[in-house]
Every structure is written in structure tokens, then in C-alpha cells.
Amino acid sequence: RMGDEALGAAKEAYEESVQEWMAGLIQLYYGAWLAQTQAKSALESIELRKRLVDITRLKSKRGTSERPDVLQIENAMALTKLQATKARQNLGDQWRTLVSKLKLPEVFLTIDPLLVPMEIDNPAPEALKACGPDALASVPKETAKMKRTSHQLAAAEASEAKAKNARLPDLQATGQFGSNGVDNRGNVGSTASGAFVFANPAWALGLKLSVPLAGYQERADLLKATGDVIKADADASEAVTNIRLDWLNGCMNVTRLTGVVDLLTENHRNQLERARLEESRFYIGRSSTAQVIQAQDDASAAEQTLKGSEVELRMASWQIQRMSDGFKTYRKHLDGVIQTVQQ
């Protein structure tokens, strides 16, 4: 029994490690996607700055704009180019790491990651469905960690029982049965035939009792086994408690982030409209240089905040999927995709 339970614990530990690997891979992909959006946003900001520089220089030649306005726009464009360079470097680092982790062909390392179409999934609806209207009632009954700690507890209990048995006295029973051939006249043939027909049967019974006197090794083994049971029982109890807390917190987090993404989407839309209107006003001289730059910066910041929250929502949703065994279905799909790309 102890061996079977240890094997079961090892299998569940392997499942946990696979889930950890998948979670890391998902986070890595989201990081690459976020880096790509940041790089694209920086390049778009450069184009916006170029338009502002051109119109400001034109206004300066006409005498409707002063030299400080031109310098302010040019300085803003220089800073934007610096941000774009950093964003491109970060995207390249993320892309190369992703290619390496997925063991994709080396040719992918030479591809410009800005040209790679990258999209992200939306596991939030499935996560909300798993949580249900009452998150407490939908707490998973079993997870890989709970199964592992349960197997470890059973293995520890079996080991403790074995250690207890080792300290008990051993009683052995032995028995012998035979036959003798007897012939007082010294006839060997008659003696042999008498032995084979059990003419003179003989038997013996014996008992052997072994009582350990000191038993220091057995006692040490028992104490260690008992300690292992106590620890395994605590781990199993903690796993059950943690899954409830993690599930409730995770469901609340997904619900909260869903609302946050909706608000940030509206905010981003408003900031884009504001930046567009400020640029239009700037062309006709009704908006200052500082106002139009600030509006564009606010729109870019709103976009990055939105994208970051979208990634956060998806990671929180995948945590729910992991606890509800949604990883298993996704893993089969992911294996098929990776194999197709590798071919």
C-alpha cells in the first residue's frame, strides 16, 4: 500500500509541475503580447509627434508659433523615440525567450516580432462560469495538490503502521514430520522400506519468540514515521483550506477585473477622442503645444493601462481554470498547436 500511495503522490506532483510550466508559459506569452502593444503604441506616438513637429515648424515660419513651441515638440518627439527604442528592445527580449521556451525553430529568432500577428484569448467567461453565482458552493472538490497531499498522508500512515509492527515481538511456529525405518535384524532393505511407508512416523513442533529488548532503531523509525504522519496530515488540511481561500479570492478578483477592464476601455476611448480633438484644435491655433502633447500622452498611458489590466484579468482567469482542471483541456490543444508549428 505504501508504494502505491507514494506512486500516486509522485503522479500528482508531476501534474502540479506541468501546471506550473503551463502557467509560466501563458504569462510569458502575455508578456510578449503586452511588449508588442507597447512597441506599436510608441511607434504610433512617433507618427503623431512628427505631424505636430511639421505643423509647428510651419506655424513658426508663418509667425504664428514661437521657437519654444518648436523645441517643446521636438523634445517630446526625441523622448518618444527613446521610449520606442526601449520598447523594441523589451519586445525582442520577450520574443526570443518565448521562442526558446517553446523550442520553436531557430529561424523564428530572426523574425521581427513587430510583424508577428499576436492575439490573446479570453478565458474570463469560462472562469466566471466556473465560479457561478455562488463561489463558495462551486469550490473544487479535488485539485492536483489536494490529491498529492492525500496520497502522501496515506503513504505516511502506512509507513507508521510498518514501524509499529517492527517493534512488536515476533512469534514463529515450526513443525517437522518424518518416518523411521527400524529392523533389529540389521536388514537394510527392510529398514529402507519401513521408512518409505511411514511405518514408524515421527514429528516435532516448535515455537520461537523474539522480543526486542533495546529497539533503539525501531523506536527511532517509529518516531520519524509518526512525525511524517503529523506533517502530512497538516499539509493535507492546509491544502483543503487554501483551495477554498484561493478559489473565493480568485473568483472575486476575476469579477473585479472584469469591471475594471470595462471602465478602462471607456476611459481609453474618451482619451483617444480627446487627443484627436486637441490635435484638430492645435492645427487651427485653438490649443497650445502643451495641451496637445499632454492629450496624446494621456491617451497612450490609458492604452497601456488597459492592456496591462487585460493581461491581469486573463492571468486571474487562468488561475481559476487551473483550480477547476481547465488546464487539462487547454494542454491538449496547446500540445497540438506546438507540434504543428514545430513541423
pLDDT at residue 230, as a whole number:
83
Q: 221-245: per-residue pLDDT in tens?
A: 777 777 878 887 887 787 788 888 8
pLDDT at residue 338, as a whole number:
56
pLDDT averages per 10-residue partition of the chain, 343 residues = 75 79 88 94 89 82 77 87 93 92 87 90 89 83 79 78 71 64 52 54 66 68 78 80 88 94 96 92 83 90 94 92 73 60 56
For 271, the grid coordinates are: 482619451
pLDDT at residue 299, as a whole number:
93
pLDDT at residue 337, as a whole number:
55
pLDDT at residue 141, as a whole number:
82
This prediction's pTM: 0.74
pLDDT at residue 144, as a whole number:
75
pLDDT at residue 165, as a whole number:
73
- Alpha-carbon distance of 153 to 68, in angstroms, equals 74
pLDDT at residue 76, as a whole number:
86
